[in-house]
Structure 1
Amino acid sequence: AWENVPIKEIMSAEQTHVRQLWEDPMNFCAPQGEPVGQLQARVLEGWAHILEQHAGQHTLIVTHGGVMRVLAQHLLSLAPEAMNRLGIPYAGMLRLRVDTDHENKHWTTMIGMDGTEL
């Protein structure tokens, strides 16, 4: 229901939903949308698949800001409510480096966000 609706309009018309999104994103679901917890499970499953299938390769993943926020929140071990505080504009970029040790454990470092080096 929020697809293609300007953020300002949602913020003024859907104050209860917006408050829940900011305060408890893991238990939030936009009207007629996907619950954030389900999105996170789907994103992390896809991330694990990418790590397995493309180990040691440079890989470009094109996605939307919600996926980027969920992945960054998880990889940086941030509290769930922190994901909505990550500024990822349209055409933003999240750059990660993944190192893998001899036991196939992955260590992820965020190199840049929104095209800006951290």
Structure 2
Amino acid sequence: MTSTIITLVRHGKVAGPAALYGRTDIALSAAGHNDLTHALNNLHMQTPIHHLISSPRLRCFQVAQEFSAQYKIPLHTEDNLQEMDFGIWDGIPFDELGDEWKNIEAFWESPHSMQPPEGESLTDFAARVIGSWESLINNNKSGHHAIICHGGVIRIIIAHILKLDWRNPALFKQLQIDYTSCTRIEIGNYEKAVPVIKWIGFCDLNTRP
């Protein structure tokens, strides 16, 4: 293989009501578990995976661990690829948030300027994700690396690669990263090669253009 291939895979649907799930260690639903397993199997059939990297959260790690054991693929967990910590909003169903809902709406309008109460700032979140990404691409050799992580993490990495402003709320409101979708990045094995995004958010690799 003449390049490094990195596929960012968002976890599947979780076993819980609609909410902001960041630090909350919720498991996948049965359908979410099956969908993520299917996505990884398809990915591996098209371009064999040499290394697995996973967020330590159960919704990512459980399937990653099973897949690693099945195919004898090395698995590394990366704490800094966890989702943003949404503080007191984290894991609370939207219909139970009451008066806090107006604050969540304000947060989505300007996530850089409003930090979730007792949670993580967007600046700190972006810094740890970008730091982890830079470490990964600087230290990994050629091959196909599959990273099982979260929607917010994938958006920050895309923005960083394209030199976009990760503080722009449109990144979170208008860029759809579906459950079990795959985003492909390739880096040539030559001096000063830059990451190239080949596709974003494909949910079924069998129908990929």
TM-score after normalising by structure 1: 0.75
Aligned residue in 2 for 1:64: 150
* Paired letter, 1:107: P
Aligned residue in 1 for 2:102: 15
What are the Cα deviations for residues 51-91 of structure 1, in whole angstroms up to 9, with x where unaligned? 01114221111111111121122223344222212112333
* Paired letter, 2:171: M
- Contact 2:112–2:121 under 8 Å retained in 1: yes
Aligned residue in 1 for 2:127: 41
For 1:1-118, what aligned pairs fall within 5 Å after superposition? Answer: 1-7=88-94, 13-22=100-109, 24-79=110-165, 80-84=168-172, 85-102=174-191, 104-115=192-203, 117=208
* Distance in structure 2 (CA, Å) of the matches to 1:20 and 1:72: 21
Which structure has the larger Rg over C-alpha atoms? 2
SS of equivalent residue, structure 2 residue 199:
strand
* Distance in structure 1 (CA, Å) of the matches to 2:160 and 2:150: 16
Distance 1:45 1:87, change over 3 A: same
92-101 or 59-68, which deviates more: 92-101
Distance 1:108 1:6, change over 3 A: farther
What is the RMSD of the two structures over their aligned residues, measured on CA atoms?
A: 2.7
* Distance in structure 2 (CA, Å) of the matches to 1:4 and 1:33: 12
- Contact 1:98–1:106 under 8 Å retained in 2: yes
* Distance in structure 2 (CA, Å) of the matches to 1:11 and 1:58: 45
Q: Deviation above 4 Å: which 4+ runs of structure 1?
A: 7-12
1:110 Cα shift?
Answer: 4.0
The gaps in structure 1 that reach 5 residues or longer are: none
The gaps in structure 2 that reach 5 residues or longer are: 1-87
Paired positions, count: 116
- Contact 2:94–2:101 under 8 Å retained in 1: no
The structure whose RCO (Cα within 8 Å, separation 6+) is larger is 2
1:17 Cα shift?
Answer: 3.6
* Paired letter, 1:82: A
* Distance in structure 1 (CA, Å) of the matches to 2:180 and 2:152: 12
